[in-house]
Amino acid sequence: MSGSAARLQAIDAVIAYEAPSPTFAPAEAPGEIFGRNVFTKAVMQKRLPKAVFTSVVATIEQQMPLDPAVADAVASAMKDWALEKGATHYAHVFYPLTHSTAEKHDSFFEPDGEGGSIAEFAGKTLVQGEPDASSFPNGGLRSTFEARGYTGWDVTSPAYVLENTNGTTLCIPTVFVSMTGEALDHKTPLLRSQQAMATQAARVLKLFGHDDPGTIVSYAGPEQEYFLIDRHFFLSRPDLLNAGRTLFGAKPPKGQEFDDHYFGAIPDRVLAFMLHAERELFKVGIPAKTRHNEVAPGQFEIAPMFERSNLAADHQQLLMVTMKRVAREHGMELLFHEKPFEGVNGSGKHVNFSFGSSTVGNLLLPGDTPHENAQFLVFCAAIIRAVHKYGGLLRASVASATNDHRLGANEAPPAIISIFLGDQLADVFEQVAKGGATSSKEKGTMTIGVDTLPVLPTDPGDRNRTSPFAFTGNRFEFRAPGSMQSIASPVYTINTIVTEALDFIATELEERVAGGEDFNHAVQKVLERIITDHGAAVFNGDGYSEQWQMQAQARGLKNLRTTMDALPELITPEAIELFGRYGVFSEREMHSRYEIAVEQYELSIAVEAKLTVEIAGTSVLPAAIRYQTQLAQNLAALKAAGVEADPSLLQAVSTPTAALRTALTALKAATSDESHAAGVDAALHARDVLLPAMAAVREAADELETLVADDLWPLATYQEMLFIR
C-alpha cells in the first residue's frame, strides 16, 4: 500500500471509530477503589504481627534502618495478599538511567515434587533481586561482560498489584545498584539526597526550638502534559513510531493562535480515556487530582496531589505506563515527547516542590505576615542561595535532546535559571537586605461589579509562567523538567543543593549563637548575607524578553542554551565536591551520569537523522517527483495540443524538490561521517551538524507538503493528527 493510500485509510478508520463499551460500573465510587491494589499501611497493620508492623512503619515514616528480621513476615503477608488478588508473578520494579521503567517478572509458583505446585516468596527474595545489568546505561561504571546488578527493596514506597486482562502481577519498588553498590538508577540518589537534607534541616529547626521536628522530607507534585492522537495516525508516521516526534509537518491553517483549546470542554473520546485512566491510577494509589485541555490542540494535562518525593517519582513512572496503556485501549496513542509537533507548544512536567514533616508542617508556608515568620524566611532563603549558586546543576538536571526543543522557546522557561518570589516576598527580602523586614503586603479583594457575585480575595502577588523556579504560595514550581523524564533527577538535585544551603545556614547560626549573638539578630544577619550574595537569581519580570537575556548576563547568571552546554556542569569540581560531601554521588557516579547523558543525547539525534533520511528519501521525495512528473506531462500535453499553459506551479514544485535533493545528500553525508564516532565529539557533531542538516531537509519537505496534490501526500498531516479525534 502506498503512503498516501495508508494515510487516507487512516483518516477513514478514525472517522469510523466507535468508542468501546465501559469496562466498569459507572456508579462505582472513587473512594471504593482508591488504593485497592496497594499494600498500604492499613493492609500491613491487619496482616503483620504488631512488632513487625511497628518496625516497618518506623522505616517508612522516620527513615529508621530496616530490620532484616522483618523481611520473611512481610514477604509472607505480601504474597498471601497478592495471591488473593489473583497474582501469579512478582516483579522488582526499578528505574534505570533511561528515564523509563524496568521490571523483572518471576512466578510465585514452583513444583512441589508431587506433580503439583506451591507458592513461594521468601524474605530474601523480597529484599534483593538480581536482574542482568550489562545492557543498561552505566557510563563506564561496569564493563559489558560484567552482568551482575542488584535490586533492593524500597520499603518506603508501597508494593502494589498491577492488573492485566490475562493476569496480575505483584510489583515491588526497588533501587538498582551495581555489585559494588554504585547507583545504576534514579531512585538511589533520590533516597540518599532525602536523607542528607533531613539531617541539615533538623539542625536548622533545632535552632528554632524544635527538638523533635520529625523526619523532614521533600514533597513533589508533578504536572504531566501530554498529547493524544488517534492510533491509526500514529502507526502511519514512522517518525512518531520511532522517535516520538514528527520530523516533518507543515504548519496547519489553524494552530493554537485562537487559544480556544486551553481549558476548553474536553472532547468526549478524550474524557472517556481520562475517566478510565484515573480509575486505573486510583487503584494503585496515585492521587490524580486535576485534568484539563492544555494550550496546543490535542494537548492535555493531569496533575496528582502532593506526595513524598520518592513516592511521587515512582507514581510518575507508573502514571506514564498506565496512561499509555489505557490510551491504546481507546484507540489513541499518548505522546510524552517534549515537542511532538513543531509550531505548537510542547509538553513539560512542572515539578512543584516543598519540604517539611507531619510535626512542623510545610516549611515553605509563609502565613499572612511572612516578614514575621523567621523560620519560613530562613528556609526560603535556602532556596534562593541554592538556585543562585547551583543554577547550572538545575539546568543540567533537565537536559536532554528532546527537552532542548521547548526550553527558551517562549512556551517554556528560558535556559537561564532564575527564581520568582512574587511581589510580597520580593518586598520582604528587599526590606531584609536593608536591615530588617517590618511589613508584608496584604491580600486584597476584588469587586467585580456584579451584585450577585461574591467579593473575591486576591493574593498579594501574581504568578509568573516565564520563571523556571517560581514561588506559588506555599511551594516552588520548577517549570523546566521535560514531559518524558523522570522527576527523580530534578528532585534529587534540588534536595542536594538545598541541603548545602541549609548546612551553610545552620553552621552560620550555630557559630553566631555560640559566640553570644542574639538568635534573632543572627537570623537577620544570615538572611542579609544570603539576599546580598545570591539575590541576583531573583527576577520577577518577563523571562522571555531580550532585555532579560542581557540583564542575566550582567548579573553573572548562566545561559546554558543546549544540553551540551549544560551537561559539563555535572562534572565540575564544585559539583563533584557537593554531591560527594552529602553522600549522594561518588565522583565515579557523577562521571557515569555525564557519560550516559552525552551518549543518550547523541543517540537520540542520530536516530532522528536516520529517520529523516529514510522518510524523506522513500516517501516525501518520491511523492514530490511523482507530482512533478504529472505536472510536466500535463504541460507537455497542453503544448502538443497548442494550448498555452502556465508553468508556474511546476516551477514552484521543482524548486523545493531540488532543495530537498541537495539537503538530503548533505544529511546522508553527515550521518555517514565516522570521524565523530562516539562521546562528546559525536554529541557536538549531532548538535552542530546533524540538527541543522535535518532542519534543511524538513524546510524543503514542509514547503512541498503545501504544494503536492493531497491524494499523493504520504504522511498524516498536522491538521489531521491534531484535530481529528
* Beta-bridge partner residues of 420: 470
Q: At 4, give phi and psi (nearest 5°).
A: -65, -40
Q: Select from 478, 461, 476, 496 the least CA-distant residue to 417.
A: 478
User: Terminal CA-to-CA distance of the chain, rounded, Å?
Assistant: 24
CA distance 278 to 585: 36
- What DSSP assignment string belongs to 77-108? HHHHHHHHTTEEEEEEEE-BTTSS-EEEEEES
What are the average pLDDT values for consecutive 10-residue runs of the chain, which has 725 residues?
69 71 61 90 94 92 86 92 93 89 86 71 87 72 70 94 88 91 93 97 96 94 96 95 97 84 88 94 93 91 94 96 95 97 94 95 92 93 98 97 90 92 90 85 77 75 86 94 96 98 98 95 95 95 92 96 97 98 97 95 96 97 96 91 89 96 97 84 96 98 96 95 87
Q: Which CATH architecture has domain 193-600?
A: 2-Layer Sandwich (3.30)
Are 95 and 317 in contact by the 8 Å Cβ rule? The answer is yes
What is the assigned CATH class of domain 601-723? Answer: mainly alpha
Q: Which CATH superfamily is domain 34-185 in?
A: Glutamine synthetase, N-terminal domain (3.10.20.70)
**DSSP state, residue 541:** S
Please count the helices (runs of H) and the strands (runs of E) in the chain.
Answer: 25, 20
Q: Is 18 exposed, middle or buried (0-12, 13-18, 19+ CB in 10 A)?
A: exposed
Q: Select from 422, 418, 505 the least CA-distant residue to 471.
A: 422
Kindly report, as residue ranges, where domains of CATH 3.10.20.70 are found in the chain.
34-185
Judged by phi (left if over 0) then psi (alpha if -120 to 50, else beta), residue 701 lies in alpha
CA distance readout (Å), 562 to 155, 466, 604, 641: 38, 18, 14, 58
The residue length of the chain stands at 725
In three-state secondary structure terms, 292 is strand
416's grid cell: 537561564
CA distance 178 to 189: 13
Q: Select from 138, 474, 82, 498 the least CA-distant residue to 306.
A: 474
Q: What is the pLDDT of residue 26?
A: 57
HSE of 586, CA atoms in CB hemisphere, 13 A: 9
CA distance 210 to 357: 12
Listed in sequence order, the residues at least 6 apart from 226 whose beta carbon sits closer than 8 Å to its beta carbon are 299, 300, 301, 302, 323, 334, 335, 336, 347, 483
CA distance 406 to 345: 8
CA distance readout (Å), 570 to 313, 552, 589: 21, 22, 10
Q: What is the pLDDT of residue 409?
A: 78
In three-state secondary structure terms, 256 is coil
- Cell 534540588 appears where? 494
682's grid cell: 559525536
Q: What is the pLDDT of residue 551?
A: 96
Kindly report, as residue ranges, where domains of CATH 1.20.120.1560 are found in the chain.
601-723
CA distance 191 to 180: 18
CA distance 23 to 486: 30
- What DSSP assignment string belongs to 394-461? HHHHT--TTGGGTTTSSSS--SB--EE-HHHHHHHHHHHHTT-----PPPEEE--S-TTSPPEEE-SS
Q: Select from 304, 295, 397 the least CA-distant residue to 347.
A: 295
Q: Select from 673, 722, 662, 721 the least CA-distant residue to 697.
A: 662
CA distance 295 to 410: 13
CA distance 696 to 496: 42
**What's the alpha-carbon Rg for the chain, to the nearest Å?**
28
Angle between helices 587-615 and 648-671 in degrees, nearest 10: 150
Q: What is the pLDDT of residue 684?
A: 96
Q: Select from 669, 88, 400, 509 the least CA-distant residue to 661.
A: 669
CA distance 502 to 518: 20
SS (H, E, C) 181-204: CCECECHHHHHHHHHHHHHHHHHH
Are 130 and 282 in contact by the 8 Å Cβ rule? The answer is no
Judged by phi (left if over 0) then psi (alpha if -120 to 50, else beta), residue 634 lies in alpha
* Beta-bridge partner residues of 444: 458
What's the pTM value of the predicted model, to 2 decimals?
0.94
Q: Nearest-5° angle of CA 101, CA 106, CA 109?
A: 150
128's grid cell: 534483593
